[in-house]
Structure 1
Amino acid sequence: MVVNGELVAQLIKKKVDCMSEKWENALIIYVICQNPSLMAITKYCKTQWAPKCEFKVFKHDEGYYVVNLETREDRDSTLYFGPHLFFGKAMIVKQWTANFNFHNEVLRVVPIWIKLLNLPLNCWCPESLSRIGSAVEVPIYADECTTKQLRISFARILVEMDVTVTVPHEINIADSEGVTFKQKVVYDWLPQFCQKCQKVGHSYERKAGPTTMKKVTQKWVEKRNTVFQEEAVVITDNELIPMEML
């Protein structure tokens, strides 16, 4: 079709939705500061995640992987499993979406587990936790111990956060009576972000103040030959005679 004088490829919604359903249980994997092989990622998923159904792993040239799980149960249990480590290296795991963009999401927006220490027990319903999580960033899930209240020391929520900005360590919560209180936020893990190259995995810090460097110059110096004279003597039967007198 033509829109404003330009050709536009119009897709059929039914066909697009059908393909979206095929990938709705897929997860995006990105290992920070490492480039593992397809076989290594597949083995990791089998041993560490142990999904109940079969799955497929696809490698993208941008450096990330797509793990397509068959069931939503396997997908959600994997997300609950975090934070994820790949042999000691931090690994980003997030749910695939139709508008997923590697550079805009994996390198900037990262799922982070947060703890809400000593959160009042009457604030633990799913809707309240979702509202509290939205004061940090975009809430995704609460872990099983939180939803079933098997642990009451802290609530734990998975939140998608933009790691390029300063993260809050304290938020304000207003209860049903309108009383506002401060809530401490603790992060299970936060990735380093480099402001220079706009990538996660390391940081770039400028040293404060001017840096003075010594200027090194080269100067040609004439080479001179230095002759060392040694005193020599000749030994005769009667006496020692200096060499210069011979």
Structure 2
Amino acid sequence: MSLNYIPPTIVKGKTVVQLDKDKVEKENAKWRCALVVYVMGEIPGYKYMSRYVEKTWSTIAKPELFLYENGFYVARFQSLGDMKKVLYSGPHTIGNKPIILKQWTVEFDFTKEFLTDIPLWVYFPNLPMNYTYARILIEVNVTQSLPDQITVMDPIGRCFQHDIWFEWNPNCCDKCIKVGHVCTEPK
């Protein structure tokens, strides 16, 4: 990215630096095929994670892997199709630790993300034969209790309650609001 001098603007008495819209949109397009990757527990080293990606996601073109601050990785795929193939093929684990994958968005803030809203696979046991979705990926707030039923609407608009079960039920610490552990009370 080339550096150009852009004089600051004064807005309500404060100096504001204006970002170039075209350059920001170009960067957004570059990252729209990216997944934010978070491994529960101890963060694996870059080489270990890179070998995992190469081995486990070998059916697609190898994504670029970046280690970000706070234990996040970002995997940038060569196509949206490759990214979705990995996202929807879960759940994923590395060294028996769950991996949380979230599609990168412009609003994703690594400094504020507590991973309370995470994608989880949900099964619909005993679903009528004429319905096709026996398993779907939904985003759930894990700081709240997970439901055991969900309202389903069929193609003609009829709604009914159906039992569900989650492929994984993560613990969430009420104290530090982190997924994957519960802080112990001092004895």
Coarse TM-score class (shorter-chain normalised): 0.7 to 0.9
2:171 to 185, 189, 192: 192
Q: Which has the higher contact order (CA 8 A, sep 6+)?
A: 2
Change (3 A) 1:174 1:42: closer
Q: Does structure 1 residue 59 correspond to structure 2 residue 67? A: yes
Distance 1:177 1:25 in 2: 34
Q: What does residue 33 of structure 2 align with?
A: 25
Q: What does residue 142 of structure 2 align with?
A: 163
Q: Name stretches of at least 5 consecutive residues in structure 1 with no aligned partner.
A: 125-145, 147-154, 212-246
Q: Contact 1:92–1:106 (CA<8 Å) still a contact in 2?
A: no
Change (3 A) 1:177 1:41: closer
TM-score, normalised with respect to structure 2: 0.84
Distance 2:174 2:11 in 1: 39
**Which amino acid in 2 is paired with 1:107?**
L
Q: Indicate the SS of the match to 1:50.
A: coil
| Identity of matched residues, % | 36
Change (3 A) 1:6 1:172: same
Q: What does residue 88 of structure 1 align with?
A: 96
Distance 2:102 2:123 in 1: 19
Q: How does 1:83-162 map to 2 (within 5 A)?
A: 83-102=91-110, 104-120=112-128, 124=132, 146=133, 155-162=134-141
Q: Does structure 1 residue 11 correspond to structure 2 residue 2? A: no
Q: Does structure 1 residue 181 correspond to structure 2 residue 160? A: yes
Q: Indicate the SS of the match to 2:70.
A: coil
Distance 1:7 1:83 in 2: 47
TM-score, normalised with respect to structure 1: 0.65
**Which amino acid in 2 is paired with 1:184?**
D
CA RMSD of aligned residues (A): 2.4
**Which amino acid in 2 is paired with 1:84?**
H
Displacement, 1:81? Answer: 1.6
With 111-120 and 92-101 compared, the bigger mean Cα shift is at: 111-120
Structure with more helix by fraction: 1
Displacement, 1:197? Answer: 1.2
Distance 2:11 2:75 in 1: 37
Q: Name stretches of at least 5 consecutive residues in structure 2 with no aligned partner.
A: 1-8
Q: How does 1:58-77 map to 2 (within 5 A)?
A: 58-77=66-85
CA distances 1:102-149 after superposition (whole Å, capped 9, x unpaired): 35445211111111223345554xxxxxxxxxxxxxxxxxxxxx4xxx
CA distances 1:22-43 after superposition (whole Å, capped 9, x unpaired): 1111111111111211000100
Distance 2:155 2:102 in 1: 33
Count of matched residue positions in the alignment of Structure 1 and Structure 2:
179
**Which amino acid in 1 is paired with 2:116?**
R
Q: Which has the larger radius of gyration?
A: 1
Change (3 A) 1:20 1:195: same
Q: Does structure 1 residue 47 correspond to structure 2 residue 26? A: no
